[in-house]
């Protein structure tokens, strides 16, 4: 099956797993979204997220989607209602990410055949996310359960794709991957204001690249989960 024959869901899941990371743009006011997107793309990201709490998020998603076409897929994060879900999709969003199980949001995404990564934490929440048709489950905060919690969830639900988010850094990301996560995501670890102020936006590129390299190395030494 070539790229043109694959569905959007297949392409998003494939790119998420291949790179192992979805860096997130989160700003308190409108900024140069294209510059951040470009920095992340140069670092190797093929899917990026913009939180829906960021001012100008719809316009940003549309602009980045138009600029990069199918080279970079843009997700909207923290999506809490069907109306926002539909707006994101109609303006070029390729992925919906939300922090908790919201059946109405999952329903709209599936109607438009757009992938959705649903936030969950407990086994019951993970099960409910799967039951209503989520494409992948985002475990948040990932740092609460830690890497071994991914193994526990995979023991319960071997077929679920887990993406921990929150508290993931260069020191622990390899452990999350080795314990069963198929990818990770986050905002603060890629949008460190102090580091960007000191080193420029090129720091974002280096940070994304570093994550991808660590994940690549971690996958070379994966042991079978219990």
pLDDT, mean over the chain:
94
115-161: pLDDT as tens digits: 999 999 999 999 999 999 999 999 999 999 999 999 999 999 999 99
74-112: pLDDT as tens digits: 999 999 999 999 999 999 999 999 999 999 999 999 999
In this structure, are strands 95-98 and 116-120 parallel, antiparallel, or unpaired? parallel
User: What pTM was computed for the model?
Assistant: 0.94
Burial string for 115-127 (b: 16+ CB within 10 Å, else e) reads bbbbbbbeeebbb
155-167: pLDDT as tens digits: 999 999 999 999 9
Closest CA to 89 of 68, 103, 107: 107
Q: Token pair for residue 17?
A: 């797993």
177-201: pLDDT as tens digits: 999 999 999 998 999 989 999 999 9
Q: Is the pLDDT reported for residue 3 higher than 80?
A: no
pLDDT at 70: 87
Is the CB of residue 185 less than 8 Å from the CB of residue 24?
A: yes
More confident residue, 77 or 224: 77
pLDDT at 1: 47
Residue 188: partners with Cβ closer than 8 Å, 6 or more residues away = 26
Is the CB of residue 74 less than 8 Å from the CB of residue 64?
A: yes
pLDDT at 2: 56
Residue 74: partners with Cβ closer than 8 Å, 6 or more residues away = 37, 47, 48, 49, 50, 61, 64, 65, 68, 92, 93, 94, 95
pLDDT at 28: 77
Residue 5 banded pLDDT, cuts 50, 70, 90: confident
9-42: pLDDT as tens digits: 999 999 999 999 999 998 877 778 999 999 999 9
pLDDT at 172: 97
3-214: CATH class:
alpha beta
């Amino acid at each position: 099956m070539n790229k043109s024959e694959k569905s959007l869901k297949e392409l998003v899941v494939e790119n998420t797993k291949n790179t192992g990371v979805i860096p997130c743009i989160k700003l308190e006011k409108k900024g140069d979204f294209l510059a951040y997107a470009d920095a992340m793309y140069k670092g190797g990201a093929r899917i990026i997220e913009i939180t829906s709490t960021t001012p100008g998020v719809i316009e940003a998603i549309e602009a980045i989607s138009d600029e990069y076409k199918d080279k970079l897929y843009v997700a909207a994060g923290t999506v809490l209602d069907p109306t926002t879900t539909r707006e994101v999709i109609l303006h070029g969003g390729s992925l919906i990410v939300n922090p908790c199980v919201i059946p109405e949001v999952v329903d709209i995404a599936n109607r438009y055949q757009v992938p959705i990564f649903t936030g969950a934490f407990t086994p019951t929440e993970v099960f409910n996310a799967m039951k209503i048709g989520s494409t992948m489950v985002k475990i948040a905060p990932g740092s609460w359960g830690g890497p071994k919690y991914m193994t526990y969830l995979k023991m319960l639900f071997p077929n679920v794709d887990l993406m921990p988010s929150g508290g993931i850094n260069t020191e622990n990301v390899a452990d999350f991957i080795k314990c069963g996560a198929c990818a990770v995501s986050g905002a603060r670890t890629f949008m460190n204001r102090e580091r960007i102020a000191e080193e420029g936006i090129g720091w974002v590129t280096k940070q994304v690249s570093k994550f991808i390299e660590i994940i690549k190395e971690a996958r070379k030494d994966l042991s079978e989960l219990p």
